[in-house]
């Protein structure tokens, strides 16, 4: 099937098998390997990307479903070699260790930025319900998200 979409602001046209997952399309066809695969049951959130501005798990979306959509992956976040403020907060707060969950964590928590009220820790923890990390114990991730929210 033919699909045409925008990925990180750039138009993309491709012919794909109907069963191809969006995450495989991004990783293997477009070589955008910052989006990771941590599970096969939609439990980990490592594959989170933005589809038309909303966080989705790209392992549960078919590439054909993204036809006509606007996708942002972790690679699309840092403009001109500058880390996005949320990425910078992750470094500052030591919110990553192995870094495998990190792109998904960032894409999932991006939605919390720019709101009128800065979420408290409990709300941030609840918002990260769909994302798992096995390294950090989450405390510094929560701090990073809070810091970025305060600054946005």
Residue 97 exposure: Cα atoms within 13 Å on the Cβ side: 8
Site track for other proteins across 62-81, x = CB under 8 A: -----------xxx-xx---
The CA distance from 80 to 116, in Å, is 28
Residue 125 found at the interface with ligand FES (CB under 6 A): no
Backbone angles phi, psi at 86, to 5 degrees: -70, -40
Residue 152: contacted member of other proteins, ligand FES, none (CB under 5 to 8 Å, by partner type): none
What is the DSSP code (8-state) at residue 47?
T
Residue 1: contacted member of other proteins, ligand FES, none (CB under 5 to 8 Å, by partner type): none
Residue 27: contacted member of ligand FES, other proteins, none (CB under 5 to 8 Å, by partner type): other proteins
Helix axes 85-92, 102-109, angle to 10 degrees: 130
From the list 47, 61, 133, 148, which residue makes contact with other proteins (rule: CB under 8 A)?
A: 133
How many chain residues bind other proteins (CB under 8 A)?
Answer: 59
């Amino acid at each position: 099937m033919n699909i045409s979409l925008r990925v990180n602001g750039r138009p993309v046209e491709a012919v794909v098998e109907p069963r191809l997952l969006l995450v495989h399309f991004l990783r293997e066809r477009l070589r955008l390997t910052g989006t990771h695969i941590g599970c096969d049951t939609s439990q980990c959130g490592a594959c989170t990307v933005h589809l038309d501005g909303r966080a989705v798990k790209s392992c549960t979306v078919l590439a054909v479903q993204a036809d006509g959509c606007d996708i942002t992956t972790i690679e699309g976040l840092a403009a001109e070699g500058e880390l996005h403020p949320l990425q910078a907060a992750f470094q500052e707060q030591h919110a990553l260790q192995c870094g495998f969950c990190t792109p998904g964590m960032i894409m999932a928590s991006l939605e919390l930025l720019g709101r009128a009220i800065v979420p408290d820790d409990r709300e941030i923890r609840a918002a990260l319900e769909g994302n798992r990390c096995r390294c950090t114990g989450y405390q510094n991730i929560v701090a990073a998200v809070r810091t970025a929210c305060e600054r946005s």
